[in-house]
Structure 1
Amino acid sequence: MYDDFGNLTYVLSPEMEATTASVSTINSQLSELGYQYVYDQRNRLVEKKIPGKGKEYIVYNKLDQPILTQDALLNAQGKWLFTKYDVFGRVAYTGVIVNNASRITLQQIADSVGSQNVTKIDYAFTVGDKSMYYNNGAFPTSWITEIYTINYYDDYTFDKDGLSLPSSWDGQAILNYNNTSKLLTKGLATGSKVRVLGTSNWITTITGYDVKGRSIYVASKNNYLATTDVVKSTLDFTGKVDKTTTTHAKTGKSTITTVDTFTYDHVGRLLTQKQTIDTNPEQVIVSNTYDELGQLTSKGVGGKTTQSRLQTVDYTYNIRGWLKQINNPTSLGTDLFAFKLNYNTTEMGMGVSALYNGNISETIWRTANSETYGNRKRGYAYQYDALNRITEGGFRRANSTGSSFIEQTNEYNVTGIDYDLNGNIKHLNRRGVINSSNSIGDMDKLTYTYSSNSNKLQIVSDAGNDTYGFKDDLIGAGIDSTTDYTYDVNGNMTKDDNKGITSITYNHLNLLTKVTLNNGNISYFYDATGVKLKKIVSTGATTEYAGNYIYEGGDLKFFNQPEGYVEPENASNYGAGFNYIYQYKDHLGNIRLSYNDKNNDGDIDVTTDPNTNELVEENNYYPFGLKHKGYNNVQGAMRDHKYGFGGKEEQDELGLGWIDITARNYDPALGRWMNIDPLAEKFPEWSPYNYTMNNPINLIDPDGRAPEPPKNGIPQFIDNTGVYFWRADKKAYEQYKYTDSSREHYSFSGYYTVNSNSKAVGKSVSIDPNANNFKIEPAETSILSDLWNSPISRLAVPDKISFSLSTSVTAIAGVSEELSFNWITRGHDASLVPYVTATTGVQAGPNVSGDALVGVGIGYFPTTDLRSLNPGDASNGLLGWNAYGSVDAGAGLGGSITGSVGFSGKPLISSPTWINAGIAGGASIGAGGTGGVSYSFPVFKSQYEKE
């Protein structure tokens, strides 16, 4: 629902829409099932209410920048988060104030303040509890109790905590290293300071740039963890990274230096990455091969440069470019793991339908692990409802010859999944291990009960096994009727009786800080941006997260590399060397098999002898992420790596059983989150506690904020019925409101480029993390589009046609004014509605002249294809600086010939945007040539800054 000004005021979730509300219940139902928004007289959002969460408030300055925010937890504490900006609108510093005043009162104070920004100064000045190199300008100047973050720009005059920049790195000069000139680093972020919450410790970072303004040197010092990290990059002339040198130092430990080198093919695709740690032999991390379509067809993984690769991973795609296989499960050969995806075919004999909308019908895998039942193929066959939510996953394994799949008393099946209208799970059944003898039975038969008219889970009752899989606090038969879960005012879970959790506390970022259980507690520590730094368990176990380096009990446990992780041979003596553990992942990024060439012979030995077996760990998963038990064991596994589902950390201390997915914690036994989605407003038709729209076979949630297709080059499907679509990083769809008969529809139109020049025409496209735009052009229109954008057509019909009214006066020096109506004919910004600009210029010429003219003009954008531009690039190119010249024909009724080059904001620094020519006629006095510079600004924004 919208107000009279077009502002969105209410969004009702499907459960709310289907509920009959009365006058007495409407407010409570809206509170739990509706999105509510309030605006001020300037149409600024000042209050909002997310379902299941308390009200949030926003206060603005006169520039419409948000300066104070408060959620329900902060409101109960009388606190507000504040943000202060510099004169360019960049965030200078943030923190917290203590003030119980209402939003309206604080907004009135903000409206009365003169200064809207802070000023960078050359000396230390204390604001709140922190010394910094900014003044205390802009509201709020009082009530500041803590500073959380400080950002510095333009120069290096600030407290760098002992960090410094060299004059150069690897032959690349570093700008402003000695701070003698501030000009070259103007506009660049030069450093930052981030508080470790609950302490007086800070993390300081400085960034150095090359002469092209590209970051090549980043140093960071963490006083809380006593670590210093430096990353130095060597770039080629196009900006690609040729080499990185990373040094990591921790007080009391030896420094680790890691050098990574990269090679690319002629179109910039990564070919090889090699890595050296200290003085150890160089390792080949990965060696990639691509086909003619740019698809990754194989990669060699691991091994010294003098050896063959430890594994060669082959990728197979269908005609649409969708991933079909990782190696071949039917013919494993020397491969350690193989994985297959079926879409519109089936082979397991489970009776599921072949699917034609991009949903996955079956997944099949096989490993070289020779434990129970040998290395047989295993797989799941999936069923979905009309909204593409999974309803069943049937498990089977192959017979001993691998010729067919056989039924095994429903091992590891997931059945009976159903949902309410918001996507909250109502029932879920699992088969699995039910005792220490690995017997298979009804592990979980779950019934979910929710608070009335709410997405909040209240009770889960398990009619299956009570101690394996989901663990119910009600032991034995019967229906659990006692409330298991409670929540705070921000919708965060605060109690879980089933796990024996008596309380959970959170910080202002809604990140858990302490979990108290019947058998102990776990404390967590973060910096002010939400990065986890430490975990302390009451048993005495301590884990430190120093960026890429993970310490346990004060000793280095491992650090990551692109194809797995690295462990020290001896945590007390890095000189003993390092072990590379490599990992196979499935299409979702789940870690399935880990291996390590511990005898360094260039080959992976698979044996039943724990002393010689080089398979480290195998993991397989139910839909929604719970691990299989009872068969995926490894003889003599060297270690239990606590990262598996989605590559995220499993929180298994004290029986917690959660997975830390950055912004939130996830319970794979329940298939739902314990906190409200920070981006819930993007998905109002879904419960803010749902996991990946209940389609965990197709989607991932990489940071706990939003589901998305896996970003590993795997294509995503397109369903022309509109039942289900998904978006990539940037909006690449036209959205239509859902109706009673169909939920939400997306359609695609326009031209589509991936990376630089490769065209994707049709109805599917590989999702590439380096792609700029995700837009699809129907195949039947591609020929006309190519013809219209051909060089011949561009010569016949310019990229831009304009009509202008102008006047100018010159007596050696002078001024000009112009009003111009511009039609762009190609690319995303083509429009029948003109872009209207006003231009003011200064000019000089040898004569005295003046004119008032009516003109027409043409323009060309200096690119080979306007379709390759981002939406808004061409229209925004009409704005900004122009260098122009004209020749005036004479006195009386005269005219002129004009030409100009646009630079969109930065004259003579950025590349030209438009190259223009025109002719004009009208009243004229004098004759001669003039030249100058001008600046254009919008009069009517047709599509400027279009997404």
Structure 2
Amino acid sequence: MKYTLYSIFVFVCLSSFFPSLLKGQDKNRHYVRTRLMTKDDGSSFRETITYYNSFGLNDEIREIGASPQGNDLQTFVGYDGAFRKVSESLPRPVGNTNFYNDSNPESYTVYEHSELNRVRESYGPGQTWRENGKSVKYTYLYNTKTGDDHCYCLSAKDVGEDIKVEVKSYDANEVSILRTTDEDGNVTDQFTDHEGKLILTRQKANGIPHDTYIVYDDHGRKRVVLPPLAADALGGHSTFMCSQVEAVQLYGYLYYYDERDRCIKKKLPGCEPIYYVYDRCNYLVLKQDGNDREAGRWQSFQYDRLGRQVIWGFMTRNKTHADWIRICKNLDLRIYFIGASYGSENYGYTSVPRISYLCTPLIINYYDDYEYTTIFNEFIGFLNRPGYYSSFSASSLTSRDKLTGQVVALLNDPFKRDYIAYYYDQRGCEVQSTMNSAFGFRNYTFTNYDFIGQPVSVRKEHTSIYRDTPPASVDDVDHILTYEYEYDHAGRLSKLYQTYDNDAKVLVAKYEYDEVGRLEKKLLHNETATSTYKYNVRGWPTEINEPRMSQKIYYNENLPQGVTPLYNGNIPCLSNTADNNLTSHFTYDGLNRLVSTKQYRPDGRFIETPEKFTYDKMGNVLTIERSYYDPYPDYLNEMTIQYHGNQIKKVTDESRGHDYYVLRYQDAANKDIEYFYDSNGNLVKNLDNKIGFIKYNIINLPEAVAFNDGNLLTYSYMADGRKVRDSYGSFPIRTSTPLDSIVNNTDPYITEHNDWSEDYYYSGRLYRIATPEGFIRFVNRVGYSIFYSMKDHVGSFRGYWEPGHANGPITFSYPSYHPSGIIYRKPYTDVPFALGGKEFMGTNNLDEYFFGARTMYAIMNRFNQMDPLCEDYYSVSPYAYCNNNPVNAIDPDGRDYRLTIDKENNRMIVTAMYYASTQDFGSAQQAVDFWNKQSGNYIYKTKEGDYTLDFSLSVIEVPTDESMNVAQRSSVVTEAFRADKSGIANIYEVVSSFKDSNKNGVTVNGNHIGVKYSRQDENTGAHEVGHTLGLTHSSFGLMTSSSTDPYRSLDLNTVGLKDMITYPIRGKSNSEGRGVAGEGHLSVFNFSYSIGSSYYSVSKWGKIRRR
């Protein structure tokens, strides 16, 4: 769907032409003035002026009146004599040159003394970095025949159903090496061949190389990826078959393609293969992983004529992969909506070919209008509420191209469903949603927006299933939560109000910012309590002061005695009053993995709970040692872990003692094999923790956990991954009854359960409602209290406090953590949140976190299921948490673009939207501006005529404040992204670092961009935006894999631009960029065509030419 951005006017002015009409500009300089109107009468706007020097280079950006005090914010850009960007300052208020109290508040780039203009060093802001020479350094080398810079020459080809890899060695100087050394001396080498393909990434820890090879075939397709422990097996082979080398099967990634270069089979480490089936239009229509195969099912995907996914579900048909390929290869399986008038055999969609109606749907999507409400009586129509949008008409065009309704099945019972309707105003903003849930809860949300689309009022209504009498009508609700938002002149959230039912309005928080927009103070609960925040010159948090908690974070300044400063973003030391004023010290290896921690009491003499970790080359933890000195060491954990591939085989813990509230490893068994996994790599049995069997659903989330002692836990999820119920019970222990039969029929054993319905949590009665700054807790059916949460720098729950007491807030529930973030004492069950703010599931000593997409074993901080995004981090174990750096990183929970052809005006418009937090908005806008500036520069030439290529990309700012840690901001942005129904939405985030420290930016699933904080330059962001537009890496220009190519921001590869156009025309996704490149969808304006012929309305054989 195209997104229309209202009232943005750009005035390009030469001050020498209109000096008398312009105010606030330097009349002696060229500039571009941009105004974002914030009121419909044009009386209020946000203004930015970009100045250019005599050579047309941008040398200053001024945000007019953007600071909280109304001062202009200036950013300066410096160039050398060769017109290369060498410096860029941080924003600062006009007239305050020492705002950051630092003599070097700008980034700085040093180039080689050569004609190649290659970057030699890159400094981020900060005098401490500059005076200590702590830059990111780049060295350009070539391979050697032997020695440290040796590189194998690998090639792959098909031999029957297997892949054959030939192993040779490159001669000297055949392969280019980019050596990147970070601020703390950690080295990463990237080896690229003469075509620019990345073939090897080498990192070192303690001098030991960790190699990850990518193997291509003759067509340039990625066929095999060999992570470090698989790459170690190369030395003993000249040629090998992948199926015959155990290390490749356990650690490697294998890809198989059909004659149209579509990936039809994929094998992940330690898992059974995943099969893919496409129709003739190149849409993925069937998928089957290892667990699907055992269950005799295929996952089914159905699309409408515009390429939008309308049905996802499963079918049980006894056909092989080859059978389905043969059946589907010549079929166009797209369907279209026909409504109830022709029957509802396929839920209002056509079922031709007949393969369509064989599917049991799990998610059904409806677009454009509301005719689907005639098929299901369970949908709730538009509701009128005073003060909220009331001009809805089902026949209006406000919902065109938007998701208007969804049917989402309960995975445990697909015939129980959520029925969700979405309603929009004339600007396309979602003003209302209604949900009739599978268990009978009802939730309605009403939203008012200001002129530029920021929410100013949100009303949430809820109807419970635990009420005494059934609701008399859809308007009969039990609870109402209303939020009101106020913003300052620059769009920063300034006040948040909350009203529960008919009680008094509460000022939840008043937000105050420093002059560059960083949150420095929150006044909570009617301004009765205060939180403050401090930062260093790079914006990294250095101090967090909550009403009952204070945390100090050290990097390289003002360090306690004995702490080694770090400059690459790792935290060497922090202190927290929630940890009894203990100070924690951290040590990392060359791969930025946490290897040891220590804690000191305030007197600096007494050591508590030191930790030590060792790893294999994949980042699997080999040993964990934790002890408590009081005054002699008491080992809480002394664990040795054995693996089969990346999967745990056996754990031995030599520690002794047990306290229910202190987390210790159970170690209940002593078998050769104590951990068991299924075909998808999910943990299904843990003998040490007395878990007899775990059953998983179709999205690899645990559905039932049966313990050997007769206890049983079950979980219910909706098909979109929401957990809506957990239950507890017990079953009679009979040796003749297999546990897997019990978890397949749990109902007779359940004795109690808890329910989630959006923000509402029930435990037999309404128990808790989640709020933006904490929660509301109920002590009985009537009384309630408001609580506020305390969290540290990574979002870990540190307790909660209740306002309104004479002697100040009362604090409750201090979870205890080891320095590594691994929980020490379990949280109280009434507020079960801990690491990263995730739910801690401690019933029956399960001791796991629920992360939404996976569960994690708390004692090890290790996931029990494969990382769904493991292909973005080949060198790291799919089970590792944050690349074993939980002190500095968090684990976030992963649409594309649209090509519109305007035949009447001979234009092609590429449209996409990018959701970004307030903090990341500037970086995202800069990246998007690069592409929008390309509009009109290129032509798509065909026999029937030429088309001008235009870009219409936009950034949607999601209001966030500096009090939010990275996890909280990511959660808010992700929520806004998921709520978007346009089909062209993406996420843009700036992060401190990646698991692969050499990466400056990544794009996940074709729609989720991450850009490293230190590389927020125009070309890095624009490069990642290019991936969302369907582009893969090229050998030169913007899309080269080398972020140091000085021409990356200047050149676009016309071959890549052609792919951006022709893939949507052909209805094909870029299989080479699967998991990275976005998928385009085609829309045709001003052209009449019959259904089925739209692919060929414009030639797919055109060529791109620059004007």
Query: Is the 2:684–2:694 Cα contact (8 Å) retained in structure 1?
Result: yes
SS in 2 for 1:17: helix
Map of 1:545 onto structure 2? 756
Q: 2:549 aligns with which of 337, 346, 371?
A: 337
**Corresponding position of 2:846:** 656
Answering whether residue 844 of structure 2 is matched by residue 647 of structure 1, we say no
1:291 is aligned with what amino acid? D
User: Corresponding residue for 1:153?
Assistant: 367
Q: 1:671 to 1:271 in 2, by over 3 A?
A: same
Partner of residue 412, structure 1: 609
> Identity rate of aligned residues, in percent?
24
Shift of 1:122: 3.7
Q: Is the CA contact 2:351–2:357 (under 8 Å) kept in the aligned structure 1?
A: no
Residues 835-867 of structure 1: CA deviation (Å, up to 9, x unaligned): 999xxxxxxxxxxxxxxxxxxxxxxxxxxxxxx
Deviation of the 1:745 alpha carbon: 2.4
Give the whole-Å Cα distance in 2 for the aligned partners of 1:834 and 1:16.
34
Partner of 1:533: 724
Deviation at 1:80, TM superposition (A): 0.1
- Quote the residue 1:212 is aligned against: 427
Deviation at 1:111, TM superposition (A): 2.3
Q: Work out whether residues 378 and 395 of structure 1, in 8 Å CA contact, stay in contact via their aligned partners in 2.
A: yes
Q: Report how far residue 626 of structure 1 moved.
A: 2.9
Q: Please, what TM-score do these two structures have when normalized by structure 2?
A: 0.60
Q: Partner amino acid for 1:133?
A: G
Partners of 1:73 and 1:103 in 2: CA distance: 15
Q: Counterpart amino acid of 2:326? A: Q
Letter of the 2:622 partner, please give it: K
Q: Distance in 2 between matches of 1:688 and 1:566?
A: 37
Residue 283 of structure 1 corresponds to which residue in structure 2?
506
Alpha-carbon shift at residue 394 of structure 1 (Å): 0.5
**Cα distance in 2 between the residues matched to 1:124 and 1:280:** 50
Q: Tell me what 1:320 maps to.
A: 538
Rounded to whole Å, the distance in 2 between the matches of 1:776 and 1:4 is: 26
1:203 Cα offset (Å): 0.2
Residues 259 and 10 (structure 1), Cα distance of their counterparts in 2 relative to 1, 3 Å cut:
same
Once the 2 structures are TM-superposed, how far is the Cα of residue 235 of structure 1 from its aligned partner?
0.6
Indicate conservation of the 8 Å contact 1:54/1:71, yes or no.
yes
Maintained 8 Å contact 1:433/1:443: no
Matches within 5 A, 1:857-872: none
Query: Where do 1:23-422 residues align within 5 Å?
Result: 26-123=244-341, 125-127=343-345, 132-138=347-353, 140-141=355-356, 143-144=358-359, 146-158=360-372, 159-166=376-383, 170=387, 172-176=389-393, 179=394, 181=395, 183-199=397-413, 200-224=415-439, 226-253=440-467, 255-303=478-526, 309-327=527-545, 335-345=547-557, 347-349=559-561, 351-367=562-578, 377-398=581-602, 405-408=603-606, 410-415=607-612, 417-422=613-618
Matched, 1:594 2:847: no
Task: Give, in angstroms, the shift of residue 126 of structure 1.
Answer: 4.2
Q: Does 1:568 align with 2:778?
A: yes
Higher relative contact order (CA 8 A, sep 6+): 2
How big is each residue's C-alpha offset from its partner over 1:130-179, in whole Å with a ceiling of 9 and x where there is no partner? x62222134623643x2211111111112251501036863534442xx3
User: Post-superposition shift, 1:107?
Assistant: 1.3
Structure-2 separation of matches of 1:702 and 1:185 = 31
Range that drifts further, 356-365 or 19-28: 19-28
| Distance apart, 1:774 and its partner CA | 4.7
One-letter code of the match for 1:579? S
On the 8 A contact 2:598/2:819 being kept in 1, the answer is no
SS in 1 for 2:371: coil
- CA displacement, residues 367-415 of structure 1 (integer Å, 9 cap, x when unaligned): 5xxxxxxx952221000001100001101121xxxxxx4232x322212
Maintained 8 Å contact 1:346/1:361? no
Deviation, 1:302, is 1.8
Which of the two has greater helix per residue?
2
Task: State the 1:338 CA deviation.
Answer: 0.7
Query: Are 2:466 and 2:765, in contact at CA under 8 Å, matched by a contact in 1?
Result: no
Aligned to 1:797: none
Change (3 A) 1:942 1:65: farther
Q: How many residues align?
A: 715
- Asked whether the 8 Å contact 1:48–1:56 carries over to 2, the reply is yes
Report what 2:855 is aligned to: 665
Paired letter, 2:775: Y
**Counterparts in 2 of 1:665 and 1:597: CA distance versus 1, 3 Å:** same
Cα pair distance change 1:268/1:942, threshold 3 Å: farther
Q: Which SS does the other structure have where 1:353 is aligned?
A: coil
Question: For the Cα contact (< 8 Å) 2:639–2:654, is it kept in 1?
Answer: yes
3-state SS of paired residue (2:419): strand
CA RMSD of aligned residues (A): 4.0
Q: Which consecutive unaligned segments of at least 5 residues does structure 1 have?
A: 304-308, 329-334, 368-374, 399-404, 606-613, 717-727, 750-759, 778-825, 838-870, 881-903, 908-933
Following superposition, the deviation at residue 622 of structure 1 comes to: 1.7
CA distance in 1, matches of 2:1056, 2:226: 37
Spell out the pairing of 1:735-774 with structure 2 (5 A cutoff).
745-747=998-1000, 763=1014, 774=1021
Match of 1:147, as an amino acid? P
| 8 Å Cα contact 2:990/2:1012 also seen in 1 | no
1:744/1:433 Cα in 2 relative to 1: closer, same or farther (>3 Å)?
closer
Relative to structure 1, the CA distance from residue 747 to residue 285 in structure 2 (aligned partners, 3 Å threshold; closer, same or farther) is same
Distance 2:284 2:1013 in 1: 42
Instruction: Assess, with a 3 A threshold, how the Cα gap between structure 1 residues 376 and 667 changes in structure 2: closer, same or farther.
Output: closer
Displacement of 1:7 in angstroms is: 1.3
Distance 1:155 1:318, change over 3 A: same
Asked if the contact 1:617/1:640 (under 8 Å) is kept, the reply is: no
Q: State the Cα distance separating 1:53 from its structure 2 match.
A: 1.2
Alignment match, 1:455: 646
Instruction: Name the residue aligned to 2:220.
Output: 6
Query: 1:660 is aligned with what amino acid?
Result: F
Letter in 2 for 1:427: T
**TM-fit CA distance, 1:474:** 4.9
Give, in whole Å, the separation in 1 of the partners of 2:557 and 2:619.
28
Q: 1:445 is aligned with what amino acid?
A: E
- Listed one character per residue, the Cα deviations across residues 901-934 of structure 1 (whole Å, up to 9, x for unaligned) are xxx9779xxxxxxxxxxxxxxxxxxxxxxxxxx9
Kept after mapping to 2: 8 A contact 1:38/1:46: yes
Q: Kindly state the Cα deviation for residue 274 of structure 1 after the two structures are TM-superposed.
A: 0.4
Cα distance change of structure 1 residues 312 and 440 upon mapping to structure 2, 3 Å threshold? farther
For 2:617, what is the secondary structure of its paired residue? coil
Q: TM-score, normalised by structure 1?
A: 0.69
* SS of match in other structure, 2:999: strand
Question: How far does residue 748 in structure 1 lie from its aligned partner after superposition?
Answer: 7.5
In 1, Cα distance between equivalents of 2:545 and 2:990: 32
State the distance in 1 between where 2:353 and 2:617 align. Answer: 47
Partner of residue 372, structure 1: none
| Letter matched to residue 406 of structure 1 | G
Amino acid at match of 2:890: I
| 8 Å CA contact retained: 1:79, 1:99 | yes
Q: 1:64 to 1:584 in 2, by over 3 A?
A: same
State the one-letter code of the partner of 1:336.
Answer: R
- How do residues 422-571 of structure 1 correspond to structure 2 at under 5 angstroms? 422-432=618-628, 441-451=634-644, 454-468=645-659, 471-472=664-665, 474=667, 480=670, 482-519=672-709, 520-538=711-729, 540-552=751-763, 554-570=764-780
Please state how far the C-alpha of 1:715 moved relative to its aligned partner.
Answer: 9.2
Letter aligned with residue 207 of structure 1 = Y
Does structure 1 conserve the Cα–Cα contact (< 8 Å) formed by 2:799 and 2:814?
yes
Q: Could you tell me how far apart the structure 1 residues matched to 2:853 and 2:1056 are?
A: 42
CA distance in structure 2 between the partners assigned to 1:835 and 1:38 by the alignment: 23
Which stretch of structure 1 is more off in the superposition, 38-47 or 27-36? 27-36
1:684 aligns with 2:847: no
Kept in 2, the 8 Å contact 1:160–1:205? The answer is: no
Q: CA deviation at 1:937?
A: 9.4
